[in-house]
Amino acid sequence: MKKFIETIKNIFKIEELRKRLAYTLGLILVYRLGCFIVLPGIDATMLAKLQNTASSGLVGLLNMFSGGAFGNASIFALGVMPYISASIVVQLLGVFVPYFRKLQMEGESGRKKMNQLTRYLTILIICIQGPAYIAALHNQIPGQAFIAVNRLGWSNFAYNLVSTVILMAGSMFVMWLGERITDRGIGNGISLIIMIGIVARLPFAIAAEVGEKLTTTNGGLLLLIVEFLIWFFVIIAAIALVQAVRRVPVQYAKRVIGNRQYGGVRQYIPLKINAAGVMPIIFAQALMLFPLIFSRWDATRGLAATLGNYTGFWYNFIFAILIIIFTYFYTAVTVNPTMMAEDMKRNGGFIPGVKPGKKTVEYLDAIMSKVTLPGSIFLAIISILPAFGRKFGINDQFASFYGGTSLLILVGVVLDTLQQIESYLLMRHYDGLMKTGRLTGRSGM
């Protein structure tokens, strides 16, 4: 505890880190306030049915990702999901379309062009999702709730058009907040926004589960304790999955400096079991939510009725397969064996028993394929745990935290953010040692 308090003090001693944290918290506060601003022309007191619908099932999961904005008919109701969907499409195009593949290889300039294309595609997706959401509002809440139509004399078309534009502006503003957090704050902004929405729903989920177990004969206090113990072990498993690595030995060649000869140095390349992090979960979940658009956000209609039952076999089977596919896809995008082999050769390193060059690339690629398979399967298993939790009588809201997308995003984003904070602390500590003139700090680093 003493070390933790000392670490908190050190964080506030570093001016740049202190400013970044304050900037991040400020933008998160703006986002959370916006989640409670109801679309103009709607009576907020008549949203009970919509909020009840958005408290469970697949729509409840979408509501959780938006931090409750979906059920509040907020200007941020669509959240960052249109941007996530656009990112999926653009990254897939980078694999299959030569033009986008070329942009990926152009470095910073190519990345800027792809980001711009992603924004344009986000607007196009909002033009589809926005009217579908407005149609869902007309189906879920009483007609008297639409003040602009009933009292001000607006036509339904005019109101729907204006509301779609507002939803578009709100979603683009949330995306802008995420980009600003990434550039000037701490952590990945889009992931943090999703995580904050999940955290905001966690107290309500725990309260619902505690209330259900203590006020009914469905298990009582003993079963509640068992559930929380199992939840704790699932969290530990998720953390282990995010942090697990496979170390590949690298031998650096002997070097002669002056008249002295230095022997080879053995080091390791840490290859993560789950190098893709939480992105496969986010991508797969975005695709599973896609059928809701065509059913006007009603999980009991159309294709969503077949695939929208998140406790059903087909939903979880397809969800698990998508997670495995996206894990391999995102690992291939983020981990480049060719670049690793070139850097190793440039620094005089080699893998014992493997020839430098093409053989090293093939070896690293084979290692990544082998470690990614169990990692992706483990990721898929944890992701479908909420379905089993619901089958064993856990409350619908709390079951979504019993593993699944919510827990993995929560664990992954928190660990990534803490890692960035730790890097600032280590960097500051290193600078401080250099200023004191003690050269032992340099050798230690």
403's tokens: 């593993």
348: region left, alpha or beta (phi > 0 left; psi from -120 to 50 alpha): left
- As a whole number of angstroms, the distance between CA 361 and CA 338 comes to 5
Q: Give percent of the chain above pLDDT 70.
A: 85
Most confident of 268-282, 372-386, 399-413: 372-386
Angle at 300 between CA 290 and CA 35, to 5 degrees: 55
Q: Which contiguous run of DSSP H or E holds residue 62? A: helix 57-65
- DSSP for 278-315? THHHHHHHHHHHTHHHHTTT-TTSHHHHHH--TTSHHH
Residue 177: band (very low, low, confident or very high) from pLDDT cuts 50, 70, 90? very high
Beta strand segments in 60-135, E: none
Report how far Cα 417 is from the mean position of its chain's Cα atoms: 12
Among 166, 167, 192, 198, residue whose Cα is nearest residue 178: 192
302's tokens: 């159309």
Which CB contacts under 8 angstroms, 24+ apart, belong to 205-212? Answer: 205/395, 205/397, 205/398, 205/400, 205/401, 206/398, 208/395, 208/397, 208/398, 209/394, 209/395, 209/397, 209/398, 212/395
**CA torsion 150→153→157→163, rounded to 10°?**
-70
More confident residue, 20 or 101: 20
- As a whole number of angstroms, the distance between CA 169 and CA 5 comes to 41
Domains of the chain, CATH where assigned:
2-444 (1.10.3370.10)
What average pLDDT does the segment 201-215 reach?
Answer: 82
More confident residue, 306 or 197: 197
Question: Who's near 193: CB < 8 A, 6+ residues apart?
Answer: 28, 31, 79, 80, 174, 177, 178, 181
Q: Which amino acid is at 337?
A: P
249, exposed or middle or buried, with CB in 10 Å at 0-12, 13-18, 19+?
exposed
Q: What confidence score (pLDDT) does residue 173 get?
A: 94
Average pLDDT, the chain: 79
Q: What confidence score (pLDDT) does residue 50 get?
A: 74
Most confident of 48-57, 263-272, 375-384, 404-413: 375-384
How big, in percent rounded to 5, are the helix, strand and coil portions of the chain? Answer: 70, 5, 20
Neighbours of 252 (CB within 10 A): 16
Residue 304: band (very low, low, confident or very high) from pLDDT cuts 50, 70, 90? low
